[in-house]
């Protein structure tokens, strides 16, 4: 083995002016939403432990450090005898870090206090731009993300699909109390100077891969689950019962592993144990301040095997039979339900549709809340009733927050979600009904559905999903198949886009607006928005409303409702209007006052979906 170098580098040192490649046999960029949300949450959470609004930029120099892991580099000469640096291990992390920098670049545009990150993303030589993480098949996509443009992922590689998806996930997960505030450049400073990686460099491919194998394969370390399994089985003194418990645990671990293998994911078993233990036992959570110690919630997230051992009395594990019961009854029950919840995130499962809706909002914390009121002694009807009530409440809560421009990212809601989990823990069905109805009564006051939301950069994705819900609901309630799963697609050849009823031409509306800014504000109101297929939206881009409304008649029911023909020979839709009083109407022209007229119908749908009456109906149905 030749010389090996290891050096701790800041993000700035690692990426500034550097160039990295990836060998052709390296796997695709595989990160999923869960991994990206965790990265954003971990980084922003670490930053917020130190940040105070009264701080100056220079104070960031005294903030704490964060270790992001290691990368293994092979430095060699290519066929042209030009030295190049190839990432042997760590390209998933490096790619995700680059996406975060692209997001921070987009968020800092037009800010006088911006901390430039361009040189960490690309460099120019003789007028030609090349990305620091140089993977040719990704360059067009990366260019579009840097320029803030859309990118069609149709017929693109898995990596490109994931690049777009994870970039969007960052926008969903990044805390509002950083992105739109004084704190943003402080965070960028901290990320570049206080976040470290260990760069291990070998000067021969064989050496680099030996290092990689040594770090990943040798002396396979026991996982949290392995150690928890060992503790549980060792505590069951009866050999027959121990064998049965071992068989039970192995069955569920194999089921989790098969799911991971089928979906090319990982850590399902760890996610299950974290959700279960947090749902049923965690008593405290770490305060967000410097020097605060980790509590139950946090320790379960990092070392749940040790937490169970330390807190065995709290969990109810005192004698051998307790351990056997916990495995054969509790683990069996909660593992089965958890897998059902994962399946519900992938489709619209009748009665549990809200689980999919919450998942699409990136609300990864819903599992602990959903498991909290369940008891292993609950029958199937009670389990489903509890899950439906809780998921529907979360749907109302999340969408009311979004309607009022309140963030639902992981960091913002972590504490509130933890408190909700504790409130719902082990409740009977009747007590759960009362608790959730009382909470939603308060939410209706805190997050009313009164003011008309507008499309802004921050809420583009969530508003798209809400329009998809409106369209899906109107069609289902009119006796037609709902197509929510089609409407939420935002990239590729079958993508849908938000269509403005008004084209971006202030001069056409100068008779109603004195200033272009007021026009732009009205144009982005939700009352002037629908969803259309991307190709249709592009073709209508510059037309007037009067020219476009005939095309709307050919699209989804919410768009069709703008045209007078929708109110003829359409009994299902007319019955919906009569039944609900929704004030839909057609428009020959769309004027300033029309936004409020159209909004009245949208607001009515929102109240059907996310108000107390809906939860009360669900509660009554579970009696």
Shared domain check, 431 and 476: no
- Given a contact cutoff of 8 angstroms between Cβ atoms, the answer to whether 402 and 360 are in contact is no
Q: 415-441, pLDDT tens digit by residue?
A: 999 999 999 999 999 999 999 999 999
User: Considering the domain boundaries, does residue 455 fall inside one?
Assistant: no
pTM to 2 decimals? Answer: 0.83
| Inside any domain, residue 582 | yes
Residues present in the chain in total: 623
- 186 and 270 fall within a common domain: no
Q: What is the mean pLDDT of the chain?
A: 91
Q: Could you tell me the CA-to-CA distances from 233 to 228, 269, 273, 310, 332 in Å, in that order? A: 9, 17, 16, 16, 15
pLDDT digits (tens, 9 = 90+) for 33-73: 888 999 999 999 999 999 999 999 999 999 999 999 888 88
DSSP notation for 491-548: SSTT-EEEEESS-S-GGGGTTT-SSHHHHHHHHTBGGGEEEEEHHHHHHTTT--HHHH
| 139-151 pLDDT tens trace | 899 999 999 888 8
Q: Is the four-CA dihedral 345, 347, 349, 352 of positive or negative sign?
A: positive
Structural domain including 481 reads: 460-620
Question: Cβ(200)–Cβ(5) under 8 Å?
Answer: yes
pLDDT at 253 over 60: yes
pLDDT at residue 206, rounded to an integer: 63
Same domain, 22 and 170: yes
What percentage of the chain reaches a pLDDT higher than 90?
Answer: 71
Same domain, 75 and 164: yes
pLDDT tens digit string along 550-593?
Answer: 999 999 999 999 999 999 999 999 999 999 999 999 999 999 99
Place 26 in a pLDDT band, splitting at 50, 70 and 90. Answer: low
Question: Among the three residues 216, 234, 252, which one is the final residue of a domain in this structure?
Answer: 216
Q: Please check whether residue 465 is in contact with residue 360, taking contact to mean a CB–CB distance below 8 angstroms.
A: yes
- Whether 356 is covered by a domain: the verdict is yes
Is 363 a member of any domain?
yes
Residues 190 and 310 in one domain: no
**The pLDDT value given to residue 448:** 97
Q: What is the pLDDT of residues 483-514, one digit of tens each?
A: 999 999 998 889 999 999 999 999 999 999 99
Asked if the model's pLDDT at residue 261 lies above 90, the reply is no
- Report whether pLDDT(77) > 80: no
Rg of the chain taking only CA atoms, in angstroms: 27
Same domain, 550 and 593: yes
What pLDDT score does 617 carry? 85
Find the mean pLDDT for residues 333-355.
97
- Quick one: average pLDDT of 7-16? 93
Q: How confident is the model at residue 444 (pLDDT cuts 50, 70, 90)?
A: very high
Q: Within a domain: residue 265?
A: yes
Count the domains in the chain.
Answer: 3
Whether 382 is covered by a domain: the verdict is yes
Looking at residue 219, its pLDDT comes to 44
pLDDT digits over 88-127, tens only?
888 889 999 999 999 999 999 888 888 989 999 988 776 6
Dihedral sign for Cα 616, 612, 344, 412, please: negative
Q: Are residues 84 and 157 in the same domain?
A: yes
* Domain shared by 14 and 160, yes or no: yes
Final residue in a domain of this structure, among 415, 446, 477: 446
In a domain, 489, yes or no: yes
In the structure encoding, which two tokens stand for residue 98, read together? 């680059």
pLDDT of residue 218: 46
Element at 196 (helix H, strand E): strand 195-202
What band does 196 get if pLDDT is binned at 50, 70 and 90?
A: very high
For residue 17, count other CB atoms closer than 10 A to its CB: 10
Average pLDDT over every residue of 608-615: 93
Do 195 and 262 reside in the same domain of the chain? no
Residue 265: pLDDT band (50, 70, 90) is confident
Please tell me whether residues 229 and 212 are part of one structural domain. no
Query: Is residue 451 assigned to a domain?
Result: no
Residue 80 has pLDDT above 60, yes or no: no
Coil vs helix vs strand at 68: strand
Same domain, 19 and 79: yes
471 lies in the same domain as 366 = no
At 265 the three-state DSSP class reads coil
Residue where a domain stops, chosen among 417, 446, 475: 446
């Amino acid at each position: 083995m030749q010389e090996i170098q290891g050096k701790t580098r800041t993000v700035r040192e690692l990426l500034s002016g550097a160039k990295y490649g990836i060998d052709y046999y390296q796997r695709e960029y595989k990160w999923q939403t869960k991994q990206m949300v965790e990265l954003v949450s971990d980084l922003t959470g670490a930053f917020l432990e130190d940040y105070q609004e009264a701080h100056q930029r220079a104070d960031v120099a005294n903030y704490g450090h964060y270790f992001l892991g290691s990368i293994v580099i092979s430095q060699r000469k290519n066929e042209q005898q030009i030295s190049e640096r190839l990432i042997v291990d760590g390209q998933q992390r490096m790619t995700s870090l680059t996406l975060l920098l692209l997001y921070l670049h987009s968020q800092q545009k037009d800010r006088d206090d911006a901390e430039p990150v361009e040189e960490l993303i690309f460099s120019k030589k003789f007028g030609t731009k090349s990305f620091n993480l140089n993977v040719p098949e990704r360059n067009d996509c990366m260019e579009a993300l840097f320029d803030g443009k859309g990118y069609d992922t149709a017929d693109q590689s898995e990596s490109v699909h994931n690049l777009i998806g994870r970039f969007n996930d960052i926008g969903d997960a990044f805390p509002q109390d950083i992105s739109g505030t004084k704190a943003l450049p402080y965070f960028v400073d901290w990320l570049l100077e206080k976040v470290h990686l260990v760069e291990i460099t070998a000067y021969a491919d064989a050496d680099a891969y030996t290092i990689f194998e040594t770090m990943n394969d040798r002396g396979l370390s026991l996982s949290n689950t392995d150690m928890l399994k060992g503790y549980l089985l060792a505590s069951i003194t009866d050999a027959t019962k121990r064998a049965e418990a071992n068989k039970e645990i192995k069955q569920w671990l194999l089921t989790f592993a098969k799911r991971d293998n089928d979906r090319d994911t990982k850590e399902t078993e760890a996610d299950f144990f974290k959700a279960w233990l947090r749902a049923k036992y965690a008593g405290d959570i770490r305060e967000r301040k410097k020097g605060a110690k980790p509590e139950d919630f946090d320790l379960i997230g990092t070392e749940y095997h040790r937490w169970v051992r330390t807190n065995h009395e709290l969990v109810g594990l005192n004698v051998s039979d307790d351990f056997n019961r916990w495995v054969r009854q509790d683990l069996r029950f909660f593992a089965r339900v958890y897998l059902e919840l994962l399946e519900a995130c992938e489709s619209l499962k009748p009665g549990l549709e809200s689980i999919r809706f919450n998942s699409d909002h990136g609300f990864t914390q819903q599992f602990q809340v959903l498991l909290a009121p369940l008891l292993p002694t609950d029958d199937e009807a009670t389990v489903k009733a509890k899950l439906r009530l809780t998921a529907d409440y979360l749907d109302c809560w999340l969408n009311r927050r979004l309607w009022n421009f309140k963030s639902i990212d992981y960091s913002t809601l972590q504490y509130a979600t933890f408190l909700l989990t504790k409130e719902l823990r082990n409740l009977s069905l009747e007590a759960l009904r009362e608790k959730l109805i009382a909470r939603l009564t308060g939410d209706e006051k805190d997050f009313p559905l009164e003011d008309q939301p507008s499309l802004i950069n921050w809420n583009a994705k969530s508003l798209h999903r809400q329009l998809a819900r409106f369209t899906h609901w109107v069609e289902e309630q009119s006796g037609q198949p709902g197509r929510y799963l089609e409407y939420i697609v935002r990239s590729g050849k079958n993508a849908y886009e938000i269509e403005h009823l008004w084209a971006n031409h202030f001069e056409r509306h100068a008779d109603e607006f004195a200033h272009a800014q007021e026009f732009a504000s009205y144009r982005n109101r939700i009352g002037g928005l629908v969803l259309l297929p991307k190709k249709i939206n592009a073709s209508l881009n510059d037309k007037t409303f009067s020219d476009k409304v005939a095309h709307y008649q050919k699209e989804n029911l919410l768009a069709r409702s703008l045209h007078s023909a929708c109110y003829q020979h359409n009994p299902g839709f007319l019955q919906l209007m009569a039944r609900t009083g929704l004030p839909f109407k057609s428009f020959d022209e769309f004027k300033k006052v029309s936004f409020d007229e159209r909004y009245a119908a949208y607001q009515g749908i929102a109240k059907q979906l996310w108000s107390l009456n809906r939860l009360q109906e669900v509660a009554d149905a579970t009696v």
